[in-house]
A and B are shown apart, each in its own frame.
Chain A
Amino acid sequence: MNPTERAIPTVIADSMILARRNLLRFRRAPELVIGFLIQPIMFILLFVYVLGGAIQTPGFDDYVDFLIPGIIVQTISFGGFLTAIGLAEDMQKGLIDRFRSLPIARSAVLSGRTLADIVTNVVTIAVMVTVGLIIGFSFRTGPLEVVGGIGLLLLFGYAFSWVFALMGLSASSAEAAQQIGFIAIFPLTFASSAFVPPDSMPAILETFAADINPFTTVVDALRALWLGTPAGNDIWAAIVWSLGLIAVFAPLATRSYRRAVTG
């Protein structure tokens, strides 16, 4: 058979086989799923009921409306954590060597990981939206916009999966990957419009949060799609940011995988 003729269907099929492998582990470790979902729920409840009363969000009926899009964007951006940890583990255990010695496309292992993240992100979004609806969040737009918002979240999450893929391949261990990811990304999500309006921040931070941080762009785009707030260029800019991240980090991660040396 001609390898180039079969190349594209084979890459997709191989990626699906590997994505399935990554998801199978959840079947064996329900505690992983519970831990994965309980943390975001806990944060929603803490923010709404502990901090919410003290945070002013002009233009929003209720803090829960302001918070839900922001906290979902934050959580989804960390969905790729599973990719980072999984890849770092595969490196440590020598599985990456096995995969690299198999007749599969060198991108298949990484797309298998990032595809699996999309599935877990769908579950995360469903659970978080449900909790939000229970405690008073409501959509103010039509079904098309709501679905568009979910699509944007999945795209942004997918982009971050590639960022985490690079971290997982570069880190010396799964724990290190987790630390790097947390330190690099967690503060960025806070210095944005996700939890408080940027105009409540000191001037320099406000400039960063309102005008530079892509998290703000994505959060504001999601608010526009779910709550009908003015969108400006946010939706397009959020899509461009996501595609830009993929365009930069997917090749970097693939290159790093190609050269991976098991420790």
Chain B
Amino acid sequence: MSANNGYAIEAEGLSKSFGEVRALDGLDLQVASGTVLGLLGPNGAGKTTAVRILTTLLEPDAGTARVAGHDVVREARSLRASIGLAGQHAAIDESLTGFENLEMVGRLYHLGRDRARDRAHQLLDQFALTDSGNRVAKEYSGGMARRLDLAAALVAAPPVIFLDEPTTGLDPRSRQQLWEAIREQVADGTTVLLTTQYLDEADHLADSIAVIDHGKLIAEGTSDELKRRVGGDRIEIALSDPADAARAGEALEALASEPARHDGAILIVPIRQRREAIARAIRALDAIGVGVEDIAVRRPTLDDVFIALTGRLAAEKSRQSEVLR
């Protein structure tokens, strides 16, 4: 399927209200063919509504969108032949086996019986489910069910796939496995739109990131571009005595690009360059007799970007998951 101007997904001014709630408020989005876009936003930002419109599950109130060259409203049927969707639930039939699930989806994509079966075997193999392919999906673990769900989205090898929070609720190991599966798939030129609340997930998988809030695009770029926006590297120093913070900040002025700030016993100093920063900082602090428990140079994370852009954390969950990792 050819896409217009090299974009597999293009949306312009998408709006959708549910009663009083404006879920999408003029969303513009472009995803180049063969790339992965991470759609990032807090809960209720409109991520799922955007995915539902782009996959024809919902019609927009205003605006237009094309996916794989098909209009989401006027060419919904042909559009659906070009996409795969894995949503927030593992949308699989628990009373069928893994194989039967994939075979059914393949036949509903009109691959024909033989191709649907071949493809089912191939995907079970690719997602490390071969041994469980003849077991009823009810017996699958959460991670296995999500892998089967992702496999179902890929049955027709569609040019565009939508993954709506594909790893929500998974344990860290299953998340890693699913990430690997997604990365492998993307290697063959599939375009992916991935929504997530996990910033590290977007960081790992996405070529570019679009941040949305209140149904609007508020920033877009690569992960590095976005991080650069909120500032460069910083040194984080755990002081032995929090009372030393002001004195320590003054001593490090020569290194700093901006005034230092502190959060309890942690002193944060934005710096001009990474080279020798730690050594110089330790020498400076040693000279005035400030004790240091721990010291590190840190890059801004997407968390910092997110806070800077939206004024809040992406999700409590994403914090927890980072701790777990």
Q: Which residues of A contact B (CB under 8 A)?
A: 3, 10, 14, 17-18, 21, 24-25, 28-29, 93-95, 97-104, 261-262
Q: How far is the CA of A37 from the CA of B42 in the complex (A)?
A: 50
Residues of chain B within 8 A (CB-CB) of A21 are 93, 96, 100, 104
Question: With A21-B104, A28-B95, A103-B109 given, is the CB distance from A98 to B152 under 8 Å?
Answer: yes
Q: How far is the CA of A29 from the CA of B93 in the complex (A)?
A: 14
Stretch in B28-36, B78-86, B192-200, B313-321 with 4+ CB within 8 Å of A: B78-86
Question: With A3-B78, A95-B93, A101-B55 given, is the CB distance from A24 to B100 under 8 Å?
Answer: yes
Q: Is the Cβ of B96 less than 8 Å from the Cβ of A24?
A: yes
Q: How far is the CA of A17 from the CA of B92 in the complex (A)?
A: 15
Q: How far is the CA of A101 from the CA of B58 in the complex (A)?
A: 10
Residues of chain B within 8 A (CB-CB) of A99 are 108
- The chain B residue sitting closest to A90, CB to CB, is B93
Decide if B181 is an interface residue (CB 8 Å cutoff). no
Decide if B57 is an interface residue (CB 8 Å cutoff). yes
Q: How far is the CA of A98 from the CA of B152 in the complex (A)?
A: 9
Q: How far is the CA of A29 from the CA of B92 in the complex (A)?
A: 17
From the candidates A3, A28, A262, name the one contacting B89 in the complex (CB within 8 A).
A262
Interface residues on B, range: 20 to 34
Majority secondary structure, A binding face: helix
Q: How far is the CA of A154 from the CA of B62 in the complex (A)?
A: 45
Q: Is the Cβ of A93 less than 8 Å from the Cβ of B89?
A: yes
> B72: shortest Cβ distance to chain A, in Å?
12
Residues of chain A within 8 A (CB-CB) of B78 are 3, 103
From the candidates A10, A24, A97, A101, name the one contacting B110 in the complex (CB within 8 A).
A10
Q: Is the Cβ of B83 less than 8 Å from the Cβ of A104?
A: no
From the candidates A3, A18, A98, name the one contacting B77 in the complex (CB within 8 A).
A3
Residues of chain B within 8 A (CB-CB) of A18 are 104, 108
Residues of chain B within 8 A (CB-CB) of A102 are 80, 105, 108-109
Assuming A18-B104, A93-B91, what are 14 further A-B pairs, CB within 8 angstroms?
A17-B107, A24-B96, A93-B92, A94-B87, A95-B92, A97-B57, A98-B87, A98-B152, A100-B57, A101-B56, A101-B57, A102-B80, A103-B77, A103-B110
Some 23 contacts from A to B, beta carbons below 8 A apart, are A10-B110, A14-B108, A17-B104, A17-B107, A17-B108, A24-B95, A24-B96, A25-B93, A28-B136, A93-B90, A94-B87, A94-B91, A95-B93, A98-B85, A98-B87, A99-B108, A101-B83, A101-B84, A102-B109, A103-B78, A103-B81, A103-B108, A262-B87
